[in-house]
Amino acid sequence: MTYTSTKFCNNIVCTLILLMFVTLPVANTKPATFLQDFHITWSDSHIKQLDGGRAIQLTLDQNSGCGFASKNKYLFGRVSMKIKLIPDDSAGTVTAFYMNSNTDQIRDELDFEFLGNRSGQPYTVQTNVFANGKGDREQRVNLWFDPAADFHTYSILWNHQHVVFYVDETPIRVYKNNEAKGIPFPKAQPMGVYSTLWEADDWATRGGLEKIDWNKAPFYAYYKDFDIEGCIIPGPATCTSNPSNWWEGVTYQHLDSVAARRYKWVRVNHMVYDYCTDRNRNPVIPPECLAGI
């Protein structure tokens, strides 16, 4: 990240010239190559580097899926990737992009799970939040575009105030810090960044009714523009509480008016499942739902 400070000029021309050189907090303009930040966790024969390592291809066939993970763990920040999902008939497949503390029963986890579907049906993205071992907070949104036709950016912003899941800078999920009301929030455990492509036709598409058509295999998903900005753990102890980290800034502590309108639009027009309103699973409304997540 680049920050530039300037002194005030005493005339309009000088001010305009200075504004041309002011750099606001933005994503890294030179995303890392795959092997700079990640390593393959399983089935390396099913992951292929493209474009000099600036992109990768994940493969799922009847023999195996595959996965990769970041070399480091992070506590707060933002991670984003551009992903192009499996085209055509992808029923029964799951392409996952998530953060995980890898601490078993008390894990923290922030999930994007892209649930494949039959040709012509919308792709569904499922998000979930685990805090101090408690999950089962699934929400599902049907994407409003074809995510297999081109790359789209999927991001997770994580700071002390909330976790926000973004699709092309449109927020689709906000999980607020309601610790003051006794609700756990993921803030103590560093998390790694993971992705997998795997078979899940026992549940992924219409609750498991739609199975993988292996005649369409192999299935491919593509990734590029890997961007992680956050506090590496272990690292300087002051990083995670530093209010000057751009992701902790006032601008990122809440949705601005434009993002709030986009968020409402997604929730009204594209949300297809919310655990908060599922009375079969949750006869008693979960406390974070009452608190306003």
pLDDT tens digits, 54-92 = 999 999 999 999 999 999 999 999 999 999 999 999 999
pLDDT confidence bin for 31, thresholds 50/70/90: low
pLDDT at 126: 98
Of 31-40, 92-101, 115-124, the one with minimum mean pLDDT is 31-40
Report how far residue 36's alpha carbon sits from residue 162's, in angstroms, rounded to the nearest whole number: 28
DSSP at 286 = P
pLDDT single digits (tens) 169-202: 999 999 999 999 999 999 999 999 999 999 999 9
Percent of the chain with pLDDT over 70: 89
DSSP at 267 = H
pLDDT at 33: 82
Tokens of 205: 């598409």
* Sheet with strand 139-142: strands edge to edge: 38-42, 66-70, 192-199, 93-100, 109-115, 124-130, 139-142, 271-274
Q: Please report the sign of the dihedral spanned by the C-alpha atoms of residue 237, residue 243, residue 245, residue 247.
A: positive
Positions annotated as catalytic residues are: 109, 113
Q: Specify burial of residue 21 (Cβ count, 10 A radius: 0-12, 13-18, 19+).
A: exposed
Per the model's pLDDT, the better-predicted residue between 65 and 26 turns out to be 65
Report how far residue 255's alpha carbon sits from residue 260's, in angstroms, rounded to the nearest whole number: 6
Q: Say if CB 241 and CB 83 are below 8 A apart.
A: no
Predicted model pTM:
0.88
Q: Say if CB 155 and CB 247 are below 8 A apart.
A: no
Report how far residue 287's alpha carbon sits from residue 293's, in angstroms, rounded to the nearest whole number: 9
The amino acid present at 249, given as its one-letter code, is G
Q: Say if CB 262 and CB 168 are below 8 A apart.
A: no
Q: Which of 254, 234, 241, 85 is nearest to 157 (CA)?
A: 254
Summarize the confidence of residues 261-271 as an average pLDDT: 98
pLDDT at 281: 95
Return the SS3 of 227.
strand
The amino acid present at 173, given as its one-letter code, is R
DSSP at 95 = E
| HEC per residue, 98-132 | EEECCCHHHCCEEEEEEECCCCCCCCEEEEEEEEC
| pLDDT higher than threshold 90 for residue 128 | yes
Tokens of 39: 């390593």
Summarize the confidence of residues 130-157 as an average pLDDT: 97
pLDDT at 284: 96
Domains of the chain and any CATH numbers: 30-291 (2.60.120.200)
